[in-house]
Amino acid sequence: MSHSHAIVWMDSKEARIFRFNAANVESEHIKAHNPFRQVHHKAGVIGSGHMSLDASFFKHIEEALQGTSEWLLVGPSAAKEELRKHVDRHLPSLKASLVGTDTMDHPTDGELLDHARRAFKAIDRMRPNTPA
């Protein structure tokens, strides 16, 4: 089944991905193997304050997005920004199909899908009617 749109909601512990078209919705839930965790340092010690997400988490998200023509990235935390930076640096095809990022707390699956459908409807209205 071909799904032209997708939305990825993610935080440091999981990603919820919905691929959809006008008639069908498919979802996937991916758990991070090494989620961010706050690392407390002694005073005067220089450090980033958190661990990075593991590469396999990003790889699973990348694989879940295969076949979609456009996708949105949403979530409450810095994890989505880390994925966006990874996509910018290493995945030009996914970068080209990313149509937006947004901060979003912890929506239900229905709220997430409704947000995606409204967003893509607005995106489609802003496009010219004639093919380029």
Per-residue pLDDT reduced to its tens digit, 85-125 = 999 999 999 999 999 999 999 999 999 999 999 999 888 77
Q: Collapse the DSSP code of 71 into the 3-class scheme (helix H, G, I; strand E, B; otherwise coil) and give the result.
A: strand
**35 pLDDT higher than 90:** no
The pTM is what? 0.80
**36 pLDDT higher than 50:** no
Residue 52 has a pLDDT of: 61
What is the rounded distance in angstroms from the CA atom of residue 86 to the CA atom of residue 6? 18
Task: Give yes or no for a contact between 37 and 65, defined as CB atoms under 8 angstroms apart.
Answer: no
**71 pLDDT higher than 90:** yes
Joined together, the tokens standing for residue 89 give 């640096």
What is the rounded distance in angstroms from the CA atom of residue 1 to the CA atom of residue 35? 31
- In degrees, rounded to 5, the angle at the alpha carbon of residue 2 between the alpha carbons of residues 115 and 25 is 35
* 118 or 22, higher pLDDT: 118
CA 82 to each of CA 23, 40, 48, 95, 98: distance values in angstroms, whole numbers, following the listed order: 32, 20, 14, 13, 14
Task: Give the domain ranges of the chain.
Answer: 5-126
Residue 60 has a pLDDT of: 94
Q: What is the CATH number of domain 5-126?
A: 3.30.420.60
